[in-house]
C-alpha cells in the first residue's frame, strides 16, 4: 500500500516561515515577542526540552527568557515567580516545563498562569475555551496534530477519530479539537476494554499513551491516518511504526513527526499573544 | 426482555431528602442558601422553567431570588446585573436562564458568572475544571445523568458510552464526566456518518440532540442502558422510547427521567456553594 509519510519538519518549517514576517513586524513596532520558560530542578530531559524550545524561539527572533529554579523551590515560590511573569509586560508567553518536582502542586502552578500568556495551553480555563470553540492557545501537541492534518489536506469532518490517551495536555484537548472539526470522536485509555477493536474503528488514530510501540499494526483499519504523539526514551513513538505502515494511508514518524510541529505551535502562540497584547 | 425503568422522580427525591438536613444545618448557622435566577424577556417556556426551579428551591428551604429583566435588556445591562449578584454575599448560586434574546451576547454573559456561583455549570472555566476532574459544579443535566447511573448502581468503568450531541451544557460535559468515570466515550453529532452503527457500539447511550424521537430502537445494542436528556415540545424525549425498550436493559422515560434529577442537581450545587462559602 502506498503510504504518505507526514513530515513534521516540513510542516514546522512552513509554520516558522510564516512567523518570521510577523515577528519582524512586531519588532518594527518596538515589541519583541518573549517566551518565558520556567524549569524547576535538574531533570536532564526537561533541561533538554527547555533548551530546545528556547533555541527555537531565538532562531526566529522571539526572545527566550529562561528561568531556572532550584529543585527545592516550594509551590509558593513558584507561584510568586509565575505572578511576577504574569505582571511583566515584556513577557507574552509563559511555559512551565513539566513534570515539576513531586513536592510542588503542579496543577495549582499551571492554573496560576494568566490566560493571556498560557501559550502552552495548560490551564483548565484554556482547555474549556478550546473545547467551547473560542480558545486562543490550545495545548501545543494537539494543535500540532491539527496543523499536520490541515497541511496535508486530510479531511476530518465526518471521520471517526480514535484518541488513545486522556491527559489534560494531550488526549483531552486533541479530542476536543477533532470534535470541533466535526469528527466523531472516541477517547480511549487504560481502562478501555477491547482496545484493538476500538482503535480499528478509527479513520484517524491519535496515539497519546506514553508507552513505546504500544499501538499494534493489526489494530489499524486499512487506510487510516495515524498520528503518533508519543515520545518515549530513545526517540520511540507510541506506535509500532513499521507494522502500522502496512495498513495506514498516512502516518507520522518519530522523530520528525508531531514533535517538531509542537515546538512551532509554541512559537506561533507566543507571536499570537504578542500581537494580541499590542492590539489590546 | 426485562427492563429497568430509571425513575428520575425517585432519584430526585433521594437527592432532595439528603439536602434538607444540610439546608437546616446552614440555616442554624445563620445562612440561608440562595439561588438567584435571571430571566430575560418573556419566553413562556423559559418562564415556566425558571418558576419550576424557583419553586423547587423554596420547597427545600433554599431562598429563590427571581430576577426578571425586560427583553430589551442589553448585554452590558445583563453583565452589570450578574456582577452585582457576583458581589452579593447572600447569593450562593446564579442561574441565567437560556436562551436569552438574540441581541444579547449569551456566551459573554455566561462567562461573567463567578466560578464559585456557577452552580448551573455554564462557564468554560467550570467545564474545563470538570473535564480535568476537579470541577465542583458540572452542568446540571450531565450531573443528573451520572446521579441516575450511580443511584441504580449501573457500572460505567470500561463500558463504551456513546453520547449523541455536543453542546457546551450537555453533550460535552456528559462526555467528560463519563470519561472521568473510566468509560470509553464516543461523542457523535449532526455530522456523524453512520450514526446508527456508532450508537450500536454503546453499552451506555446518552441522547442529547434535541430532536423528538430521534434515536431509533434498532440503533440500540441489546442490553444497553439508555439515558434520554431530550425534552422537546409536548414532553417528548430524543429517544423513541417504546421502540428502544425492546433492546435496552434500562432506560429513562420522558417525562420523569433525567428532568427532575436535573433540578435536584441545581439545588445540590446551590447548597454545596453555600457550604463552600461559609467554610472559606
pLDDT digits (tens, 9 = 90+) for B21-35: 999 999 999 999 999
Mean residue pLDDT across chain A: 97
Which of B16, B63, B81, B97 is the catalytic position?
B97
Is A266 within a domain? no
CB B163 within 8 A of CB B187: yes
Whether A187 and B188 lie within 8 Å, measured CB to CB = no
Cα dihedral across residues B153, B156, B157, B160: positive or negative? positive
Let me know whether A66 and A107 are in one domain.
yes
Let me know whether A198 and A162 are in one domain.
yes
| Burial environment of residue A30 by CB neighbours within 10 A (0 to 12, 13 to 18, 19 or more) | exposed
What the block records as the C-alpha cell of B37 is 435566577
Is B129 considered catalytic here? no
Asked if the model's pLDDT at residue B1 lies above 70, the reply is no
Is B24 within a domain? no
Let me know whether B150 and B108 are in one domain.
no
- Residue-wise pLDDT for A234-252, tens only, equals 889 999 999 999 999 999 9
Which chain A residues are within 8 Å of B106, Cβ to Cβ? Answer: none
Residue B233: pLDDT band (50, 70, 90) is confident
Boundary (domain end) residue, out of B78, B96, B114: B114
Residue B58: pLDDT band (50, 70, 90) is very high
Is A205 within a domain? yes
Whether A107 and B186 lie within 8 Å, measured CB to CB = no
CB A166 within 8 A of CB A177: no
CB A206 within 8 A of CB A251: no
Residue B280: pLDDT band (50, 70, 90) is confident
Indicate the Cα dihedral angle B109, B111, B116, B122, nearest 10°: 90
Boundary (domain end) residue, out of A98, A115, A132: A115
Report the chain A residue with the minimal C-alpha distance to residue B175: A187
What the block records as the C-alpha cell of B10 is 425517585
- Report d(CA B250, CA B252) in Å as an integer: 7
Is A9 annotated to bind ligand? Answer: no
Asked if the model's pLDDT at residue A3 lies above 60, the reply is yes
Is A122 within a domain? no
- Report d(CA A241, CA A252) in Å as an integer: 9
Which chain B residues are within 8 Å of A201, Cβ to Cβ? Answer: 201
- Report d(CA B173, CA B171) in Å as an integer: 6
Which chain B residues are within 8 Å of A189, Cβ to Cβ? Answer: 179, 182, 184
Asked if the model's pLDDT at residue B63 lies above 70, the reply is yes
Q: The domain containing residue A44 runs over which residues?
A: 30-115
Q: What distances in angstroms separate CA B46 from CA B38, B167, B229, B256, one per listed residue? A: 10, 18, 17, 19
Indicate the Cα dihedral angle A163, A167, A168, A169, nearest 10°: -80
- Residue-wise pLDDT for B106-121, tens only, equals 999 999 999 999 999 9
| Domain count for chain A | 2
- Report d(CA B169, CA B138) in Å as an integer: 9
- Residue-wise pLDDT for B96-152, tens only, equals 999 999 999 999 999 999 999 999 999 999 999 999 999 999 999 999 999 999 999
ipTM: 0.97
What the block records as the C-alpha cell of A182 is 466535526
Let me know whether B162 and B86 are in one domain.
no
Which chain A residues are within 8 Å of B192, Cβ to Cβ? Answer: 158, 184
- Report d(CA A49, CA A263) in Å as an integer: 10
Let me know whether A172 and A63 are in one domain.
no
Which of A7, A63, A81, A97 is the catalytic position?
A97
**Which CATH number covers residue B75?**
3.40.50.10860
Asked if the model's pLDDT at residue B279 lies above 90, the reply is no
Is A24 within a domain? no
pLDDT at A235: 87
Is B120 considered catalytic here? yes
Boundary (domain end) residue, out of A115, A132, A161: A115
Helical H runs in chain B? 8-28, 44-59, 75-87, 106-111, 124-131, 140-151, 171-180, 195-199, 241-245, 258-279
- Residue-wise pLDDT for A140-172, tens only, equals 999 999 999 999 999 999 999 999 999 999 999
Residue B3: pLDDT band (50, 70, 90) is confident
Let me know whether A107 and A145 are in one domain.
no
Report the chain B residue with the minimal C-alpha distance to residue A132: B168
Asked if the model's pLDDT at residue A271 lies above 70, the reply is yes
**Which CATH number covers residue B172?**
3.40.50.720
Whether A124 and B128 lie within 8 Å, measured CB to CB = yes
Let me know whether B86 and B145 are in one domain.
no
pLDDT at A1: 54
Is A53 considered catalytic here? yes
Amino acid at each position: 500500500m502506498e503510504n504518505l509519510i507526514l513530515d513534521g519538519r516540513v510542516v514546522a518549517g512552513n509554520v516558522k516561515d510564516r512567523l518570521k514576517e510577523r515577528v519582524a513586524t512586531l519588532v518594527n513596532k518596538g515589541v519583541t515577542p518573549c517566551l518565558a520558560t520556567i524549569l524547576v530542578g535538574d531533570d536532564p530531559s526537561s533541561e533538554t526540552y527547555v533548551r530546545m524550545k528556547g533555541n527555537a524561539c531565538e532562531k526566529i527572533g522571539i526572545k527566550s527568557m529562561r528561568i531556572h529554579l532550584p529543585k527545592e523551590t516550594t509551590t509558593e515560590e513558584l507561584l510568586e515567580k509565575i505572578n511576577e511573569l504574569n505582571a511583566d509586560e515584556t513577557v507574552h508567553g509563559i511555559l512551565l516545563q513539566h513534570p515539576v518536582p513531586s513536592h510542588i502542586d503542579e496543577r495549582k502552578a499551571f492554573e496560576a498562569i494568566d490566560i493571556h500568556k498560557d501559550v502552552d495551553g495548560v490551564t483548565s480555563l484554556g482547555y474549556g475555551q478550546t473545547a467551547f470553540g473560542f480558545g486562543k492557545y490550545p495545548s501545543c501537541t494537539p494543535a500540532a496534530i491539527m496543523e499536520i492534518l490541515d497541511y496535508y489536506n486530510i479531511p476530518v469532518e465526518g471521520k471517526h477519530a480514535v484518541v488513545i490517551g486522556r491527559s489534560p495536555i494531550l488526549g483531552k484537548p486533541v479530542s476536543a479539537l477533532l470534535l470541533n472539526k466535526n469528527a466523531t470522536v472516541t477517547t480511549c485509555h487504560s481502562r478501555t476494554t477491547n482496545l484493538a477493536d476500538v482503535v480499528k474503528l478509527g479513520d484517524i488514530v491519535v496515539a497519546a499513551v506514553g508507552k513505546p510501540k504500544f499501538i499494534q499494526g493489526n489494530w489499524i483499519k486499512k487506510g487510516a491516518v495515524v498520528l503518533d504523539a508519543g515520545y518515549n526514551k530513545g526517540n520511540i513513538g507510541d506506535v509500532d511504526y513499521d507494522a502500522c505502515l502496512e495498513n495506514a494511508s498516512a502516518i507520522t514518524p518519530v522523530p520528525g513527526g508531531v514533535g517538531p510541529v509542537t515546538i512551532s505551535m509554541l512559537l506561533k502562540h507566543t507571536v499570537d499573544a504578542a500581537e494580541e497584547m499590542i492590539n489590546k
